Chain A
Amino acid sequence: MTTKLFGEPVRRREDARLITGQGRYLDDIGSSAYAAAFVRSPYAHARIVDIDVTAAVDVEGLLAVYTYEDLVGPMAEPLPVLIPHPQLTAPRTGYPLAKDVVKHVGEAVVMVVATDRYVAEDAVDRIAVTYEELPVVVGVDAAREAGSCVHDDVPDNVAARHHQETGDVEPALAASPHTLSFTQYFERSAAMPMEGKGVHARWDADDSSLRVYTSTQASTSVRAAIAAKLQLSLERVEVIAPDVGGGFGVKIVHPWPEELLVPMAARLLGHEVKWSEDRREHFTSSAHERQQRQEVTVGYDDDGRITALDVHIWHDNGAYTPYGIIVPIVTATQLVGPYVIPVYRVQVESVFTNTVIVTPYRGAGRPQGCFAMERAMDRIAQERGLDRAEVRMRNLIQADQFPYDHHLTFQDGRPVIYDSGDYVGLMGKLKALVHWDSVEERRAEARARGRHLGIGMAMYVEGTGPGPYEGGHVQVLGSGKVLVSTGLTSQGQGHETVFAQLVASELGVPMEDVEVTTGDTRRFGYAVGTFASRAAVMSGNAVALAARGVKEKALRIAAEVLEVDPGDLEIDEGLVQVKGTPGASIPLRTVAVLSNPLRYAFDEAAKQATQFAGPGDDSKPPVAVGDAPGLEHTDYYSPVRSTFASGAHAAVVEIDPLTWEIEVVDYAVVHDCGNVVNPMIVEGQVHGGVAQGVGGALYERMAYDRDGQLQNASFMDFLMPYASEVPDVVIDHQETPSPLNPLGLKGAGEAGVIPGSAAIASAIEDAVGRRIAAMPISPTELYDLVRSDADQVTNVGPKTTGVLA
């Protein structure tokens, strides 16, 4: 019997190359390429008065200098708004190179190409740009006040007003036995993959075609964007995502200006051109996420059951809106989490600021939504004198309520209907895992050591695997090798392994025979991309369906040869055999050769196959109508709507009352992503997500000053967790299969990060007995909080809305 693969912690096939330095990341490609470098705006908002390149001209090795004036046709038009929305009433995007005005520090103004990057930067240093400074808007509060505006024609700085309601919230609140209101802030962080972005382009003049490698999460869409912007026919452009050193959302945005400019230069110069983003560029010219101001009013009864919820969110979208309003819509719709909310209204104002654009970073608006909902739960518990776990239990959607319709519209335009789940089960497992009920003993023990201990929890539901589709192609070669391809890309998730597991178990072949390619438009042209925890759900189901198609064809061909019914056949270890009849079999690779009526005997496989080939029926064509030569199949998976994964996290913190240092001493995760293909990989995703959650709660913030200068644009100053900051994580699993897809999967990529700030804020509050109204929180802010007289210290908020005091 074929070894069981689905559900097993199969070791990753990617690793052999990556642990020996044989990976091929963007900057490893094209050692003889020319190098591009950019002059970027030093001002957050300014008019470009003059660009003087004369001093750069005599730099030896300089090949070309491009400004907006050099862009022609569609390149001279604004970058696309990828995801328009009727409520995005003032969509704005920049140009590949700035035209007249810059709107954030780091915006590209001039591109230089030279023989190598050192020389390119010599030239960059010698280009003098004269600017006339304009008033700057930083932080949601400044954007709301609209003392000045980011875009002249948007005087209130509001790009979009998004609004959803499931009933009449005002009367529902008025009729509620109790209400409470609070305002809180969530700060900017960023995906910050260890590899920055990068693009390599090669123009083939003889073929009039372009090959582009880019460190992207969406190669098929980059291809379409390049073709449109450079006015090339789609089949003249191929785009490949090589090994990608992490993405976490930032590389889903496309086309980045550099993804258009580098190919443009390669074509104009007739030579390979490459650009590798450096870390400072990544900080100031890619994307950030997370800043919001939230005003929450919640109504509830004596038992702590929610009767109505009214939320108003101001969301900082940065200087432009290339990715539409996906992030605030996700916040608005995922905020309700695993709870029954009888009446819900959410209003979002998405506002412009003179800062780097805001696009999805792992979690994509969910950490903020979770923060709002879970802080409300904690406050209700405190007001009613109830245990925080108990209040949550009373509000949970019950297992018999699925499918559960929240009557909201999700980011993909589809209804928010939870497919399946067991939230009560999650809570039970979490309480056991973290010893919730015995926290007082731990608190006393910590107190004896002179430390404040607190515990907190947070729950979430995550819409995963949104459509519209992904596809898969599976082909068996005469050598027995099985080629699998899917269009979406990989940034370290182990897709090569997981998709090989799925195809090997569907098809009944050894996993070693399966080869997987992702993110290469030469192999698969239709794809959406890797984001929203969708790869396993979408491409996993697509490659499984494609493998089923191949299997069906293989059994049909083998049945003819063996003169049996296809239903009596099975495939095991690459051998098609009659069930229960040893000896009556044919290798799958031979079936692959037989599937093509043209078989020149180039190799042994073809020679052997001839012995199986019958004389053929002279009255029929060799390839039947509707059939095709070859043992291959392409299929697509397109879901009606998203699946909904869920989970519950708990954090235990200890605080040193001298330094107010906050240490997360325990972190517990209960996680439900439906059926699990590879538990080792899923746990890895959880570990990584939790580390980013802890970073977002305690360390990471983009510190802009009032002039829009990012004060901490380096790894020295922007504090990402090292091993010493990440707690040990204990994990328990629950598997509630999704009824929506053949494999019963739900996504797992983002979950780990979502409840981090909510759970840790809850734990800190429990430890010090004060309300937290802004995350992340530093030891200094905590010290200020506990020394303040106010019982609810919301005033820590404004200090951390992206403006350094």
Chain B
Amino acid sequence: MRSRAMSTVQTERAISVTVNGVPREATVPVRWLLSDALRNEFGLTGTHVGCEHGVCGSCTVLVDGEPTRSCLVLAVQVDGRQVTTVEGLSRPDHQGGQVLHPIQEAFRECHALQCGFCTPGFLTTIAAGLDARDASVEITEEEVDELVGGNLCRCTGYANIKKACRYAAAAMRESAIVATKAQDGGAR
């Protein structure tokens, strides 16, 4: 953390933000980074800080669905917005449990993580990318490169992270095809 002000008095401000679907209120020093607010105020330590200068991508969260480096945003800037962290990537299933996002499953299946420190940033970024594309279309290598290209990982050499993207995209494609078929069937 770098100190942002010489003042010894920390100006604070109240913010309301929806974090992983839950409305939250907090009073935070105005100089706090979003990453610090998530970790220290909201107790969501899945968001990791690898550089605090916007380069590694470990701290990536989704702000209104857009991948955002939480070390480059002040907490007060997300007042009134929706924030999704790695803890919020899984979805409720029909039995009252949680299902992992396909990219989370894929990371485990493809051994796309070692120490896991960079992993939350990759997961949020790739999940947003996969969710935004037409799942029924096969993913291209260019798309995969785009999804993984902005984050640093020191452990994996990226090969298995790329593999996980393909794996998740294929799983999502299968679901999309099944869903379309079911819809067609229902319409008939």
The B-contacting residues of A in range 130-158, CB under 8 angstroms, are: none
- In chain A, positions 114-133 with a C-beta closer than 8 Å to chain B are 116-119, 121-122, 124-126
* Cβ contact within 8 Å between A279 and B156: no
Measured between beta carbons, the chain B residues less than 8 angstroms from A714 are 51, 53, 55
Q: Which residues of B contact A (CB under 8 A)?
A: 1-10, 29, 31-32, 39-40, 43-53, 55-56, 58, 85-87, 89-90, 100, 104, 107-109, 111, 113-120, 123, 145, 148-162
The answer to whether A19 touches B123 (Cβ under 8 A) is yes
The 7 closest A-B pairs by CB, nearest first: A21-B46, A492-B115, A245-B117, A18-B116, A687-B157, A691-B157, A492-B114
Chain A residues near B113 (CB-CB < 8 A): 15, 18-19, 492
For B151, the chain A residues whose CB sits under 8 A away are 722
> Which of A61, A193, A722, A723 gathers most chain B CB within 10 Å?
A723
- Chain B's nearest CB lies how many Å from the CB of A670? 17
B85 contact set on A, CB distance < 8 A: 21
Chain A residues with Cβ below 8 Å from B115 are: 193-195, 243-246, 491-492
Is A12 an interface residue when CB atoms closer than 8 A count as contact? yes
A20 adjacent to chain B (CB < 8 Å): yes
User: Who on chain B is nearest to A58 by CB?
Assistant: B8
Contact with B along A9-25 (1 / 0, CB 8 A): 00110111011111111
Are B4 and A118 in touch, CB under 8 angstroms?
yes
Q: Which of A43-51, A350-358, A379-387, A724-732 contacts B (4 or more CB under 8 A)?
A: A724-732
In the complex the two chains form, is B1's CB within 8 Å of A245's CB? no
- 17 further interface pairs, Cβ-Cβ under 8 Å (given A716-B55, A723-B161): A12-B111, A19-B86, A21-B46, A21-B85, A58-B8, A121-B1, A122-B3, A122-B6, A194-B48, A194-B117, A194-B153, A244-B115, A492-B115, A691-B157, A715-B53, A723-B148, A752-B157
Within 8 A of B (CB), among A735-765: 752
Which residue of the partner chain B has the closest CB to A282? B51
Question: A493 near B: Cβ within 8 Å?
Answer: yes
Contact with A680, one of B4, B45, B50, B111 (Cβ below 8 angstroms): B111
Q: Which of B46, B52, B148, B160 contacts A20 (CB 8 A)?
A: B46
Question: In the complex, what residues of A have CB within 8 A of residue B31's CB?
Answer: 118
C-alpha gap A500/B157 in the complex (Å):
25
| In the complex, chain A residues whose CB is within 8 Å of the CB of B48 | 25, 194-195, 245
When the two chains form the complex, which single residue of B4, B29, B148, B158 contacts A691, counting CB atoms closer than 8 Å? B158
B177 CB to nearest A CB, Å: 25
Structural contact, A15 and B107, CB atoms closer than 8 A: yes
B50 to chain A, nearest CB (A): 5
Report Cα–Cα, A720/B90, bound state, in Å: 31
Q: Is the CB of B157 within 8 A of A279?
A: no
Tell me, yes or no, whether A60 is within 8 Å of chain B by CB. yes
Given contacts A245-B115, A245-B116, A723-B149, A20 and B90 within 8 Å (CB-CB): yes
**Complex Cα gap A195–B46 (Å):** 13
Q: Is the CB of A246 within 8 A of B155?
A: yes
CB distance from A546 to the nearest CB of B (A): 26
A297 to chain B, nearest CB (A): 36
Could you give, for residues 640-683 of chain A, a 1 whenever the CB lies within 8 Å of some chain B CB and a 0 otherwise? 00000000000000000000000000000000000000001101
Cβ 8 A contact of B50, one of A118, A279, A689: A279
Contact between B3 and A118 (Cβ–Cβ < 8 Å)? yes
Chain A residues contacting B3 (CB-CB under 8 Å) are 118, 121-122, 124-125
CA–CA, A252 and B50, complex, Å: 19
Interface pair A19/B9, CB less than 8 Å apart? no
Cα A804 to Cα B56 in complex, Å, equals 25
Closest B-chain residue to A23, C-beta based?
B116
Q: Does A31 contact B (CB under 8 A)?
A: yes
Q: Answer yes or no: A688 CB below 8 A from chain B CBs.
A: yes
Residues from chain B with Cβ under 8 Å of A28 in the complex: 39, 45
Min CB–CB distance B101 → chain A (angstroms):
9
Q: Which residue of the partner chain A has the closest CB to B159?
A: A687
Name the residue of chain B whose CB is nearest to the CB of A685: B114
**Residue in B closest to A13 when the chains form the complex, CB atoms:** B108
Q: Say whether A234 faces chain B, with CB atoms less than 8 Å apart.
A: no
Residue picked from A20, A31, A124, most chain B C-beta under 10 Å: A20
Distance between A661 CB and nearest chain B CB, rounded to angstroms: 17
With contacts A248-B154, A687-B156, A716-B53 taken as known, whether A21 is within 8 angstroms of B47 at the C-beta atoms is yes
- CA–CA, A722 to B161, complex, Å? 12
| Shortest beta-carbon distance from B155 to chain A in Å | 5
A122 to B8, CA, bound (A): 7
Measured between beta carbons, the chain B residues less than 8 angstroms from A690 are 157
Query: Are B29's CB and A118's CB within 8 A?
Result: yes
Interface centre among B3, B29, B156 (most CB of A within 10 A): B3
Q: Is A27 an interface residue (CB 8 A)?
A: yes
A sample of 19 inter-chain contacts (CB < 8 A) reads A11-B109, A19-B104, A27-B45, A58-B8, A122-B8, A124-B3, A194-B48, A245-B116, A246-B155, A248-B154, A278-B1, A492-B115, A684-B156, A688-B157, A715-B152, A723-B158, A723-B161, A729-B157, A752-B157
* A692 interface residue (CB < 8 Å to B): yes
